[in-house]
């Protein structure tokens, strides 16, 4: 479940329209939202995914880099998980999460509203240059560097 993700500034020449950009310069920029596998029995339990791009136990090592190959780091860049039962229903399911260091983020286990545990959900990672913006949409409108992953269809885990 890896995909190319690159933050591209509004002045970049390899961007067609203002907004999300993908670039040949970003071949090594990878982001992955992976499934939280712990299933917990319970009536009406919400499906969850673990929002992270690094975990040695599942051999996940997918740092996110800027368009020039520099790993994103610190509160100046944020990642957020969007999810839903259908591609059209995607909405933010996590709080914006700052990058720790070297292109990594860890947003914890996140419930996907409208998806019961053990069912499939659509998820997508959005990342952006914060620079005074609190949401991906605000960063996009302000012309900040932004990027999105491909859409993933994942099995959800439990809520505990």
- Has residue 103 been placed in a domain? yes
The reply to whether 99 falls in a domain is yes
On whether residue 13 sits in a domain, the answer given is yes
Domain that holds residue 150: 3-155
Q: Are strands 6-7 and 3-4 parallel, antiparallel or unpaired?
A: unpaired
* pLDDT band per the 50, 70, 90 thresholds, residue 97: very high
Owner of token pair 């997508």: 124
pLDDT band at 159 (very low <50, low <70, confident <90, very high): low
In a domain, 106, yes or no: yes
**Into how many domains does the chain fold?**
1
Exposure string for 93-119, b = 16+ CB within 10 A, e = fewer: bbebbbbeeebbbebebbbbeebbbee
* Domain membership flag for residue 160: no
79 domain-assigned: yes
Residue 80 is assigned to a structural domain of this protein: yes
Does 37 fall in a domain?
yes
Confidence of residue 109 (pLDDT cuts 50, 70, 90): very high
What is the value of pTM for the model shown? 0.74
């Amino acid at each position: 479940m890896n995909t190319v993700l690159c933050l591209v500034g509004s002045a970049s020449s390899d961007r067609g329209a203002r907004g999300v950009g993908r670039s040949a310069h970003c071949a090594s920029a990878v982001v992955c939202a992976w499934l939280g596998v712990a299933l917990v029995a319970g009536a009406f339990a919400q499906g969850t995914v673990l929002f992270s791009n690094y975990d040695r136990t599942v051999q996940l090592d997918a740092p996110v880099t800027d368009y020039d190959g520099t790993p994103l780091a610190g509160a100046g860049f944020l990642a957020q998980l969007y999810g839903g039962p259908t591609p059209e229903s995607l909405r933010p399911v996590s709080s914006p999460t700052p990058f720790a260091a070297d292109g990594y983020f860890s947003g914890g286990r996140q419930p996907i509203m409208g998806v019961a545990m053990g069912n499939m959900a659509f998820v997508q990672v959005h990342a952006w240059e914060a620079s005074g913006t609190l949401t991906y949409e605000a960063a996009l409108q302000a012309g900040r560097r932004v990027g999105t992953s491909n859409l993933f269809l994942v099995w959800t885990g439990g809520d505990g």
